[in-house]
Amino acid sequence: MLIFYLFDLFVVYLSWKSFKDIVNPISITSFTWLLFLFLYNIISIGNEGYRKLSTLFYLSVIIYIATFSLVCLLFIKNVKQNQNRNIFNLDTINVSRNLVEGIIWFAILANVYYILTLFNYAGTFNVIDVIYHIRNSARGDGSVAFSSAIKLGSLLFNFSPLILCYVFLYDVKIKKYKVAILISEIFFISLLLATKGRILRFAILMIIILRKKLSKRKFYFSMIIMIPIFIILISILTIGRDHTYFEMYSVEDYIFLYLLSPIPAFDRLISGELSYFSNGFGVRIFSFMYEKIINPLFDINPYYVDPGYIYVTTEHGKITTNVETILGSYYMDFGFVGVIICGLIMGTIFGFSYKKMRSTKKSEYTIFYVLNVPYLFFQTFGDFLMPTFTITVQEFLSAVILAFVFRKFSIGKKNDRGSV
C-alpha cells in the first residue's frame, strides 16, 4: 500500500510539473485512483467490517497507471505547452449566428421528439413508470428490441452535448433561454433513461466548460451552486429507481455502494473468489465489434457469464454491487495481462486525443476530448467508454461534420455574427 501511494504521488507531481493543466489524462487518472483509494483506506482503518485490499490489487493498479501514463507520454511528450494560452487550443471560425441558432433549434426539437417517443414506448405519461419500462428494456437480454423511432431519437440525443460544447467553448452569442432549454432537455432525458452516468458525465463536462469561461471567483461560486443541484438530482433518481436498496441499506452504506464498492469487488475478482466464463476473445471489451461487425459478417456470437452481483462487506454487513472498476472486464477477458491491455487502450485513446487538442486547432479533437474526459473520473467505478464505443464514434463523426459545416460557412466579419 505504501509503495502505491509513493508511486501515485510521484506520478501526480510529475504530470502536473510537466503539463500544468487540470485536464491532462495522466494527472486525472493518477489523482482519481489516489483519491478514491485514500478514501477507502480512511474509512476502513480500525474497522474490520471493510475488506483489506490485497497486495495483488495495489500491484494491478500500479501496473495500470504506469502503462497508461507511459503510452500517453509517447503521444504528448513533444506537445509544446504555452502557459499564456487556455488549456483548450481552439480555432476561431466566424459563422452566421442564424446557422448556429438553427442547429440549436434542431437539437431542441430532436430532443422533444425523443422525449415523446420514450413516453409512447412506455405507454404512460407517469415519469416513474417511464423510467421503469425504459430501464428494464435497456437491461434486458436483447429479446426486447427498441423501435426505430427510439433508436433515431437516441442518435439525435447524442448530438446535443456537441452543440453545447460549441456554444460554450467557442463563446457563440446565443440567447441564454435557448441554451437553458437544451440543457433542461438533456437533464430530463437522462432522468427518463435512469442513467446516473449520463448526469455525472454532463456535470463534469459543465465544470470543464465553466472553468474555461469564468474567472476563478465566479467558477468557485458556480460550483457551490451546481454541486448540490447535481447531488439532489442523482439522489432523486437513485431513490426513485432503487428504493428497495435505499430501504435495505443505511445512508453510509448507500454512499459506499455508489462510490467505493467496486474497489473491494475487483479485489475479490483478482483474488480468485468469483466465478465467470466466456467462450470468445475479448467478448466483454470488444462486445461492440461482435455486435456490429463480427456477428453480422461471420455469424460468430460468443457469450459470457459474469459474476453477477458481488457481495462486499461494510461495518453494517454485506452489500451487493455489479461493477469491478474499469479493470474488471479486462481482467475477466484476458487475465492479469488485461490490466496492461486496459492501460494500452485507454492510454492510446486519451493520449492521442489530448495531443490533437493541444497541438492542432481543429475543433473536432477538442470537442471529442472534452466529451470523453469525464470517463477518466469514473475509472474506480467501472468502464464507461468501451461498452458505448459506438456512441463515442458517432459523437466524433458528428463533431467532424459540425466542424466542416462551420468552416464551410465561415465569414470574415463578426458584427452581428457568432464566433465559433
Q: How far is CA 185 from CA 34, 328, 340, 367, in A?
A: 35, 33, 39, 20
Q: How far is CA 75 from CA 63, 226, 257, in A?
A: 19, 34, 36
145-174 residue pLDDT tens: 567 777 788 777 877 877 877 777 666 677
Nearest Cα residue to 61 out of 35, 92, 83, 30: 30
Q: How far is the C-alpha of 331 from the C-alpha of 271, rounded, in Å?
A: 11
Residue 348's pLDDT band, with cuts at 50, 70 and 90, is very high
29-59 residue pLDDT tens: 999 999 999 999 998 887 778 899 999 999 9
Angle between helices 55-76 and 337-359 (to 10 degrees): 30
85-132 residue pLDDT tens: 455 555 555 666 777 788 888 889 988 888 888 888 777 666 666 666
Determine contact, residues 139/113, Cβ cutoff 8 Å. Answer: no
Q: How far is the C-alpha of 184 from the C-alpha of 188, rounded, in Å?
A: 6
Q: How far is the C-alpha of 53 from the C-alpha of 363, rounded, in Å?
A: 43
Q: How far is the C-alpha of 367 from the C-alpha of 363, rounded, in Å?
A: 6
The angle subtended at Cα 19 by Cα 10 and Cα 327, nearest 5°, is: 55
Nearest Cα residue to 282 out of 302, 262, 308, 307: 302
Nearest Cα residue to 42 out of 88, 9, 5: 5
Least confident of 134-138, 169-173, 284-288, 352-356: 134-138
Q: Say what the pLDDT of residue 54 is.
A: 93
Q: Which residues pair with 310 in a beta bridge?
A: 321
Residue 277's φ and ψ, nearest 5 degrees, are -155, 150
| pLDDT of residue 334 exceeding 80 | yes
Nearest Cα residue to 352 out of 362, 338, 365: 365
Determine contact, residues 91/406, Cβ cutoff 8 Å. Answer: no
Widest distance between CA atoms in the chain: 68
CA torsion angle for 154, 157, 158, 161 (degrees, to 10)? -160
Q: How far is the C-alpha of 318 from the C-alpha of 104, rounded, in Å?
A: 48
Residue 82's pLDDT band, with cuts at 50, 70 and 90, is very low
Q: How far is the C-alpha of 391 from the C-alpha of 159, rounded, in Å?
A: 10
In sign, the C-alpha dihedral spanning 293, 299, 300, 304 is: positive
Angle between helices 25-44 and 2-19 (to 10 degrees): 150
Residue 332's φ and ψ, nearest 5 degrees, are -70, -30
Domain boundaries, the chain: 2-82+275-390, 96-244
The CB density around residue 55, as the number of other CB atoms within 10 Å, is 10
| pLDDT of residue 142 exceeding 50 | no
Mean pLDDT of the chain: 78
In residues, how long is the chain? 420
Q: Around 122, how many Cα atoms within 13 Å sit in the side-chain half-sphere?
A: 21
Residue 291 DSSP class: I
Q: How far does the chain reach from its first CA to its final CA, in angstroms?
A: 48
Nearest Cα residue to 25 out of 359, 379, 393: 379
pTM of the predicted structure, to 2 decimals: 0.80
Place of cell 488485461: 338
